[in-house]
Amino acid sequence: MRFDLPTSWRHGRGLAAQTGRILRDLGCAHSLLVTDGMLVEKGVVAPVVASLDDCEVEYTMCAEVTTEPTVSLFEKLVDGWDLTGFDSVLAVGGGSVIDVAKGLAVVAQFGGHIRDYAGFDRIPAPLLRKIVAVPTTAGTGSEISDGSVWIDEARQTKFLVLSTRICPTIALTDPEMTCSMPPRITATSGVDALTHAIESYVSVDAGVATELFSLRAIELIGAGLKKAYTRGDDLDAREAVQLGATMAMIAGMNAHMGLCHALAMPLCGLYPIPHGQACAMALPHVLEFNAEVAGAKVAGICEALAMVGTGNDAPGAARYREIEGLLAALGMTGRLRDFGYRDEHMDIIVRETLNSVQYRFNPRAASEEDLVRLVERLV
Ligand SMILES: [Fe+2]
């Protein structure tokens, strides 16, 4: 067994106001602050900036991450910014911001293009620059993970840079930083986290340590997500989902994902589907597909989501349908045709799903015919 958790995880309400002190304690004097201009406008970044000023940590703000990370965004940032003058990269934002921060820390040290680092363990040496992540969403788990996800427009798919060397030095989770999330982002990011917890739980690489994190994450997200969706200022619910999301990724980066995430790679490359929405579309169908080989675990997932005694007491496999109810309550009812699905893309979707690094961890192997049937159910 191997269980990595290179990131130091600090959690607490109001903790974002300690960012400056934490950077100073790391010996950092000048940070590249990567964020999203919308978050700056809404005042979400303000407590972090105030703490940098208070602690006399210099920073240069790059607020240009307004979309999911793309190759063209990467090229624009590398052309427009001198990345060599910073001793740290501070990411304040959602998973996209944190993923971009990781990519910039890599090329600041080793040069080249982000495509050069796609795949497993392509970072040649430990990073010298510290990465501190302050997430403003609760979902991707990028604050603790070894992954950075990029959209490659030319290939119409996504690619992953995966290495424990890009795990942030410190993940600083503060539920107050997530309260500005609108309901739709709360739902898509929360379902992404739920999918991390579920896929890592049934993964072929799951073990006693990851199962502990997966199951507790399913419980926390199940307890908080609907409440956080309907009442964004419910700090207890926000905190439960945020703790669950980070724990789900601790499991996910060690046990890896599965078929939902493998499918999401081409689907989000081809169509403007948020990652969590793609996971939500696939989740009940992939659970049904996997239940044939992982029925007891699927039953355990329903139990952790408190989906017991709901009138559907069929053993194992059949209870995956309960999850459809949760997704509907979160407004996650979109289908591929709503995002411009075209039949001629089926070959790309099947090929890229099978090529995805995530696919190999799914507990049940899928044939091309299985995948065509599965995708047809999402249309
Ligand atoms: Fe995900």
- pLDDT > 90? residue 156: no
C-alpha 193 to ligand 1 mean position (Å):
7
Query: Over 70: is that where the pLDDT of 144 sits?
Result: yes
Q: Do both 213 and 72 map to the same domain?
A: no
Residue 189 CA, ligand 1 centroid: distance in Å: 8
pLDDT digits (tens, 9 = 90+) for 170-206: 999 999 999 999 999 999 999 999 999 999 999 999 9
In a domain, 1, yes or no: no
Q: Do residues 239 and 117 both lie within one domain?
A: no
Q: 86 C-alpha vs ligand 1 centroid, how far in Å?
A: 29
Instruction: Bin 158: left if φ > 0, else alpha if -120 < ψ < 50, else beta.
Output: beta
Residue 374 within any structural domain of the chain: yes
Span from the CA of 219 to the centroid of ligand 1 (angstroms): 18
Give the model's pLDDT for residue 314. Answer: 52
Report in angstroms the alpha-carbon separations of 347 from 89, 278, 332, 372.
39, 18, 26, 9
Q: Specify if 53 maps to a domain.
A: yes
- pLDDT of 376: 97
pLDDT for res 311:
46
Q: How confident is the model at residue 310 (pLDDT cuts 50, 70, 90)?
A: very low
Final residue in a domain of this structure, among 117, 150, 178: 178
270 in the same domain as 248 = yes
Q: Report if residue 196 sits inside a domain.
A: yes
Residue 267 and residue 120 in one domain = no
Alpha carbons 66 and 229: distance in angstroms, whole number: 22
Q: Is residue 359 located within the same domain as residue 211?
A: yes
If you measure from the C-alpha of residue 79 to the centroid of ligand 1, how many angstroms do you get, rounded to a whole number?
Answer: 29
CA of 260 to the centre of ligand 1 (A): 9
Domain shared by 174 and 188, yes or no = no
From ligand 1's centre to the CA of 113, what distance in Å?
23
Listed residues 178, 211, 244: the one ending a domain: 178
Strands 157-162 and 147-152: antiparallel
Question: 68: CA distance to ligand 1 center in Å?
Answer: 13
Residue 238, domain member (yes or no): yes
CA of 50 to the centre of ligand 1 (A): 31
- The one-letter amino acid code at 378 reads L
Please tell me the distance from the alpha carbon of residue 324 to that of residue 327, in angstroms, as a whole number: 5
Is the pLDDT confidence value at 313 over 80? no
Distance 192 CA to ligand 1 centre (A): 5
Ligand 1 centroid to residue 263 C-alpha, Å: 11
Cα 277 to averaged position of ligand 1 atoms, centre (Å) = 10
CATH number of 126's domain: 3.40.50.1970
Q: Domain limits at 253?
A: 183-378
Confidence tier at 319 by pLDDT (50, 70, 90): low
Q: Identify whether 3 is part of a domain.
A: no
Tell me the CA–centroid distance for residue 53 and ligand 1, in Å: 34
Arithmetic mean of pLDDT, 164-168: 98
Is residue 62 pLDDT above 80, yes or no?
yes
Å from CA of 56 to ligand 1 middle: 36
188 CA to centre of ligand 1 in angstroms = 10
**Which pLDDT score is estimated for 240?**
98
Residues 353, 255: one domain?
yes
Quick one: 212 and 341 in the same domain? yes
Q: Work out the pLDDT band at 321, boundaries 50, 70, 90.
A: low
Residues 19 and 54 in one domain: yes
**190 and 158 inside one domain:** no
Both 172 and 187 in one domain: the answer is: no
In a domain, 2, yes or no: no
Å from CA of 242 to ligand 1 middle: 14
What's the CA-to-centroid distance between 145 and ligand 1, angstroms?
11
- State in Å: Cα 337 to ligand 1 middle: 21
What share of the chain has pLDDT > 70, as a percent? Answer: 96
The pLDDT of residue 112 is above 80: yes
The pLDDT assigned to 309 comes to 45
pLDDT-derived band at 305, boundaries 50, 70, 90: confident
Ligand 1 center to 26 CA (angstroms): 29
Last residue of a domain, one of 137, 157, 178: 178
- pLDDT one-digit tens code per residue, 37-48: 999 999 999 999
CATH number for the domain that contains residue 246: 1.20.1090.10
Considering its fold, how many domains does the chain have in total? Answer: 2
242 and 157 in a single domain? The answer is no
- Residue 197 included in any domain: yes
Question: Mean of the per-residue pLDDT values for the chain?
Answer: 93
For ligand 1, the distance from its centroid to the CA atom of residue 195, given in whole angstroms, is: 7
The pLDDT score that the predictor gives to residue 139 is 94
